[in-house]
């Protein structure tokens, strides 16, 4: 079905195509999650998912179609980024398809309807996570994260603090000296809830920054790290005419850099916190390699734009074959087992 639809969707501007896709998905009845190999059951940070393959934030920014996405076979779905106030984002066009590179560049800038508008669409679900961010014009960004956490803590299986969008000026600065304060404020904002908190980081970090983030993460009540968001780098291999657009690059060209930065985090964290790998995952082999490089689970977005909604189930099935081939009895057993 997607093979027939893809040429039509790809004739449209990417943001229009995305909007139509969300409206079409909304009209679909939520399907039951396809049965998957029990070996894929994944547990970390007090969470339990039927597959380690999740949908990354940004596809369902306003929490409109997360049930349908679970029905396509994602083990878990992260909605958002939601900010305290609704926000338009940057001027259009702001999403670019780099089809020759199986990639996307976006500079959306946290366009979303705001936390309050999304609340009625949320429902307690053990596989639903909520990604929160700060408004562009906020005078106190840490307070925005705290408000986000306070608002969604009763509704989320986990909450992700997204401080790594490259499209809100200065946001990535929160990965520096202010990080301990942010993590403390976010943990405090949960109140009586013990919702696990994840931090989503950029792939564009040097060794010193990785070390400082790991130290802050381990000293705080963080439950895990998501590695990574889109990159500001532009590999010389890019062929698309859109390669020099401003924004964050995702998809195939991010695969190797995102794996390398995950590996760097994994070496420092030494199993003390779970890591979730994201960036350029488009196959069972990619997911398996990310798990062996240290990820307890993976997320994807861009590859699904190119491969369609059958992708999470295809990856899950292929992953169980790879795990069984190599004698692993669970996903957890394979985490971090690559040899240097």
**Which positions touch ligand FMN (CB under 6 A)?**
56-58, 61, 80-81, 95, 104, 106, 108, 131, 162, 165, 200, 229-230, 250-251, 254, 278-281, 300-303
Kindly give the pairing relationship between strand 76-82 and strand 53-55: parallel
Phi, psi of 106 (to 5 degrees): -130, 145
Closest contact distance (angstroms) between CB of 327 and ligand FMN is 28
Q: Give the angle 198-286-164 at the CA atoms, nearest 5°.
A: 30
CB nearer to ligand FMN: pick between 95 and 328? 95
Q: Which of 212, 211, 210, 252 lies closest to 231, judged by CA?
A: 252
Candidate list 165, 220, 296, 320, residue with the active-site label: 165
Least Å distance, CB 228 to ligand FMN, is 6
Structure tokens at 240: 């698309």
**Closer by beta carbon to ligand FMN, 55 or else 328:** 55
223 vs 328 by CB, closer to ligand FMN: 223
Give the three-state DSSP class for 176: coil
State how far the Cα of 143 lies from the Cα of 275, in Å rounded to an integer: 26
Q: Looking at beta carbons only, is 257 or 328 nearer to ligand FMN?
A: 257
Q: Pick the closest to residue 194 from 216, 215, 221 (CA basis).
A: 221
> In terms of CB distance, is 47 or 328 closer to ligand FMN?
47
Q: Could you tell me the smallest distance in angstroms from the CB atom of residue 93 to ligand FMN?
A: 12
Concatenating the DSSP letter of every residue in 246-312 gives SSEEEEGGGHHHHHHHHHHHHHHHTTSS-EEEESS--SHHHHHHHHHTT-SEEEESHHHHHH-TTHH
- Residues forming beta bridges with residue 130, ordered by sequence position: 79, 159
Closest CB 339 distance from ligand FMN, rounded Å: 25
Q: Taking the mean position of all CA atoms in its chain, how far away is CA 241?
A: 26
165 an active-site residue? yes
CB of 295 to ligand FMN, least distance (A): 13
Instruction: Closer to ligand FMN by CB, 80 or 294: give it.
Output: 80
Kindly state the smallest distance separating residue 4's Cβ from ligand FMN, in Å.
23
> How far lies 264's CA from each of 164, 197, 235, 267, 336, in Å?
17, 21, 20, 5, 12
Shortest spacing between CB 61 and ligand FMN, in angstroms: 5
If DSSP codes are grouped into helix, strand and coil, which group holds residue 201? strand
* Tokens matching residue 37: 């190999």
Report residue 105 as tokens.
């560049």
Closer of 162 and 240 to ligand FMN (Cβ): 162
Distance (Å, whole) CA 193 – CA 225? 20
Q: How far is CA 223 from its chain centroid?
A: 15
Catalytic residue annotation: 165
């Amino acid at each position: 079905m997607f093979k027939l639809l893809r040429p039509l969707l790809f004739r449209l501007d990417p943001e229009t195509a995305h909007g139509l896709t969300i409206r079409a998905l909304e009209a679909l009845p939520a399907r039951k999650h396809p049965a998957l190999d029990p070996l894929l059951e994944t547990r970390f940070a007090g969470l339990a998912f039927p597959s380690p393959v999740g949908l990354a934030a940004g596809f369902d920014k306003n929490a409109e179609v997360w049930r349908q996405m679970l029905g396509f076979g994602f083990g878990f779905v992260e909605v958002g980024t939601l900010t305290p106030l609704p926000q338009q984002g940057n001027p259009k066009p702001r999403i670019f398809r780099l089809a020759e590179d199986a990639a996307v560049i976006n500079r959306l800038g946290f366009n979303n309807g705001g936390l309050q508008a999304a609340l009625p669409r949320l429902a307690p679900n053990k596989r639903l996570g909520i990604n929160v961010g700060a408004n562009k014009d906020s005078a106190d960004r840490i307070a925005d994260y705290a408000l986000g956490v306070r608002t969604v803590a009763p509704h989320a299986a986990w909450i992700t603090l997204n401080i790594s969008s490259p499209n809100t000026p200065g946001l990535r600065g929160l990965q520096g000296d202010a990080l301990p304060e942010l993590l403390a404020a976010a943990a405090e904002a949960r109140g009586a809830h013990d919702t696990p908190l994840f931090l989503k980081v950029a792939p564009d970090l040097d060794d010193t920054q990785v070390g400082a983030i790991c130290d802050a993460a381990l000293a705080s009540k963080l439950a895990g790290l998501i590695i990574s968001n889109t990159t500001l780098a532009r590999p010389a291999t890019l062929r698309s005419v859109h390669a020099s657009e401003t924004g964050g690059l995702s998809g195939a060209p991010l695969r190797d850099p995102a794996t390398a930065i995950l590996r760097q985090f994994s070496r420092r964290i030494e199993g003390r916190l779970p890591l979730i790998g994201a960036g350029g995952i488009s196959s069972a082999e990619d997911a398996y390699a990310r798990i062996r490089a240290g990820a307890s689970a993976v997320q994807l977005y861009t590859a699904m734009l190119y491969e369609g909604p059958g992708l999470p189930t295809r990856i899950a099935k292929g992953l169980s074959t790879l795990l069984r081939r190599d004698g692993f009895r669970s996903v957890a057993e394979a985490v971090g087992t690559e040899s240097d």
